[in-house]
Structures are given as structure tokens and as C-alpha cells.
Amino acid sequence: MQALADYWSTEYDWRRCEARLNALPQFTTEIDGMQVHFIHVRSRHENALPLIMTHGWPGSVIELLDTIGPLTDPTAYGGTAEDAFDLVLPSMPGYGFSSEPTEAGWDAAATARAWAELMARLGYDRYVGQGGDVGALVTDLMGRQQVQGLAGYHLSLLTAVLAIGDHLPNESEQERAAHQAVATFKQDGFGYFLEMATRPQTIAYSLTDSPIGLAAWMLDHDTDSYYKIARAFVDHAPVGSLTRDTILDNITLYWLTGTAVSTARSYWEDARALAAALASGQAPPPVTVPVGFTTFPGEIWASPRSWVEAVYPDLAYFNEVDKGGHFAAWEEPQLFTTEMRAAFKSLR
């Protein structure tokens, strides 16, 4: 934290990030009383496939910026015109430049419905989705809600593990390793989740008084994040694109928008929605569109194919890559782009 504070206060330049954001087409629209901020980049290539990507916590649209060029202008990044996407990157309610909810109910399911409305307003009657971390939950709920226009989606985190992990296969070495990773996360890296899911304002209000306190919570909320992010400051050996500047771009966005409380409260909303779903005893609605999944080796739990197929029996695309982790688009934007092209190729 001393290394971070020193760099943040003496060398870091927010104006660089500000200029980068301001160079992008950004908009807001009101959906169900919420001002939703989004970046909307149309490809110059005809027949580009519309793609809405959802960030997670403690992320923001910042974590997706390096994918904009490769996804929307593939011919400049080793691809073909047939690989092009029109890209929509919304800020989740309470995150970044989207407004904060003023009443209860803005859980991931509500966000999923809002994203469907957003894509309809943009004139997209057929599109695909992608998400990791909390974004994976939002994207999956769009599929289970069978929202109009969604033709398929891709995930990089199997969020169902938190609900049905004990029932997933546990026979092969890879499956046992995945179960151990889940157990380690729950034992050594789950405290932030429980705190924000039960007392979000108790912790988060304390983070609005100190930028260093906010940075510490965002960097060391779980063990995996700490080791990846600390390397950029302590060893000057960043994990992929997780550099000192990109990490501080994201933290500074949280600080300047004052969204520590509202982002934490989103966990409170989702925890109650999950508890209600489990208490009902009902199986989640089926997914009727193609689902793609990429397992990145540095994910908190790197899901084997057997796990993914247990949740999505009609899995349309699966791949295990050799690098990248929980912040897949942020860490390895070029590899992430390659996966998007492959996962959605059959849906063009």
C-alpha cells in the first residue's frame, strides 16, 4: 500500500485516463428510474455482431477498454472483417457513471432486464452477451429470463458454483482441484463477499473517507486479487495488462464517483435474491440459447468442462486457454478477443 500511495500521489496521471474515456462515444439513458451510463462503439465493418459486455466488482468499464479496438476493428488487430462486433459496455447500476439506486430491488436480475431494454433502444433486435465476475451472473440471467433479442452468450466464470458446488463432479484430478480452489476461496478469500452481502454500508461508508482505504479494500479483498494486483506495485511485474496505471484508473474512477457504498450494496441485493431462489426449491429457468465458456487458468476456480456441462448441458463452445484469470478481458485483452471471435463464430 505504501508503494501504491507513493505512485498514486506523485506519478499517476488521471487526465490520461480521462482523455481516453472522453475519446469514446459515451451516453446515458434512463431505465426504470436509473440513469445508465454506457460506451457504444459501432464497428466500421458491415454486418458486425452486436455484443453487450458486463463488467464485475471491483471493476468497471475500465477493465474492458483494451478490448474495444480488437473487437470493433479486427482488421487492425490480426482478424478479418467477419470478426467485427458492435460493442456496448454499460456501467452497472451504482457503478461508475451510472446513478445509484435509491430503493431496494436493483439486483442482477433487474440489471439483466435493463440491459435487454438498453439493447432494444439501440435498435439491436439480435445480439450476444458476455460477462465475467458479477457480469457473468447478469449475462446468465439475461439467458434465463429469455430476453428478446439475445442470440447467445459467453461466460468466463461459473457463478452457479456458489449455489450447487457440492453437487458438481468430483472424480478427476481436474475436478478435485477445482473443488479445492472453491474451498480455498471460501476459507481464505470470501470475507469481502460476506461483509458486503450482509453489512455493505458499514464497510463501504468507511471507504468514502480514505482513498487509500478504498484502494486497500479493492486490492486485498481476496487472496487471488491481492497477489495479482500487488505485483504491479511491489515487483513492477504486472499480470498481463494489470499495470499500475490501469489498476489506479479503476480505483480512481470509484473514488471520484463516490460509488464504494452503492457497489457494495449490489452484493447485498444479490445475496438476498440468491437466498430467496434457494429457499423456493425451484430449479432456475432453462437456457434456450447457445452458451459459450472459456476456462482461464488463473480464475478463482478454473471450471473443468464437466462442471460447465452440468450447468449448461447443451454447451455450444468450450475452451481452456493457457493464460489469463479472473480479470480475463483486463489481463489478456488479445486472448480474450480471440475467444470472443471463436465463441460467437457460429452465431453470425
CA distance 102 to 115: 19
Task: Tell me whether residue 227 is one of the annotated catalytic residues.
Answer: no
3-state secondary structure the chain: CHHHHHHHHHCCCHHHHHHHHHCCCEEEEEECCEEEEEEEECCCCCCCEEEEEECCCCCCHHHHHHHHHHHHCHHHCCCCHHHCEEEEEECCCCCCCCCCCCCCCCCHHHHHHHHHHHHHHCCCCCEEEEECCHHHHHHHHHHHCCCCCEEEEEECCCCCHHHHHHHCCCCCHHHHHHHHHHHHHHHHCCHHHHHHHHCHHHHHHHHCCCHHHHHHHHHCCCHHHHHHHHHHHHCCCCECCECHHHHHHHHHHHHHHCCHHHHHHHHHHHHHHHHHHHHHCCCCCCCCCCEEEEECCECCCCCCHHHHHHHCCCCCEEEECCCCECCHHHHCHHHHHHHHHHHCHHHC
Task: State in Å, rounded, how far the first CA of the chain is from the last one.
Answer: 46
Q: Which of 37, 55, 221, 326 is catalytic?
A: 326
Task: Tell me whether residue 179 is one of the annotated catalytic residues.
Answer: no
CA distance 34 to 327: 27
Instruction: Give CA 151 to chain center in angstroms.
Output: 20
Task: Tell me whether residue 55 is one of the annotated catalytic residues.
Answer: no
Which residue, among 146, 116, 106, has the nearest Cα to 284 in the 3D structure?
146
CA distance 101 to 263: 10
CA distance 218 to 308: 28
Q: Which of 66, 133, 222, 270 is catalytic?
A: 133
Q: Which of 12, 95, 124, 267 is catalytic?
A: 267
Tell me the Cα Rg of the chain: 19
- Which are the catalytic amino acids? 133, 267, 326
